[in-house]
Amino acid sequence: MKRAMNTQTVKLDLAAIPPSIEERDGTYYIAQSPINFTALILRFQEGLSPETIRRDCFPSLPLAHIYSAISFYLSNQEQVDNYLKQIKQEEDELQQQLLAAHPEFIKTAEELRERILVGA
């Protein structure tokens, strides 16, 4: 799904992006894969090592691509963090729009949560 772009879109410096990262429809992906850059970096920020990211999250990715993406992140951390904040804000806005348009989702989620708590 193509993400909505606001008027103050944070773009990553394409000149600095390694070949292992590519832009598709306004979103950055690990080259030649369906895995987006954001997902990989969020795992790294959670404290996972590159080897663990590959083994537990994205076994189809070459380890060299994972290291390259992390290296880009570490070399451009402020820029990437701004990009990640923007993505999070856009996701939150979309979620609020969806919940406003479909309030039954909240009731369904609450019912599921209650079933899980009762069954635990």
Instruction: Decide if 16 is inside a domain.
Output: no
What is the reported pLDDT for 115? 81
pTM above 0.85, yes or no: no
First to last CA, the chain: 35
Domain span at 86: 21-119
Q: Report the distance separating Cα 72 and Cα 21, nearest Å.
A: 9
* Cα–Cα distance for residue pair 82/73, rounded to 1 Å: 11
Domain presence at residue 114: yes
- Residue 64's pLDDT is 95
What pLDDT does residue 9 have? Answer: 67
Q: What is the mean pLDDT of each run of 10 residues along the chain (120 residues)?
A: 51 74 91 95 97 97 95 94 91 87 78 79
- Candidates 42, 43, 44, 20; CA nearest to 32 is 20
Within-domain flag for 91: yes
Number of domains in the chain: 1
Residue 74, pLDDT score: 96
Q: Is residue 14 part of a domain?
A: no
Q: How far is CA 30 from CA 33, 101, 112, in A?
A: 6, 33, 35
The answer to whether residue 82 sits within a structural domain is: yes
Does residue 63 form part of some domain? yes
Which pLDDT score is estimated for 35?
96
For 58, the 3-state DSSP assignment is: coil
Angle between helices 104-119 and 77-101 (to 10 degrees): 100
Asked whether residue 30 is domain-assigned, the answer is: yes
Residue 11 CA to residue 17 CA, distance in Å, equals 11
Here the CATH number for the domain that contains residue 33 is 1.10.10.10
Centre a 10 Å sphere on the Cβ of residue 61 and count the other Cβ atoms it contains.
20
On whether residue 28 sits in a domain, the answer given is yes
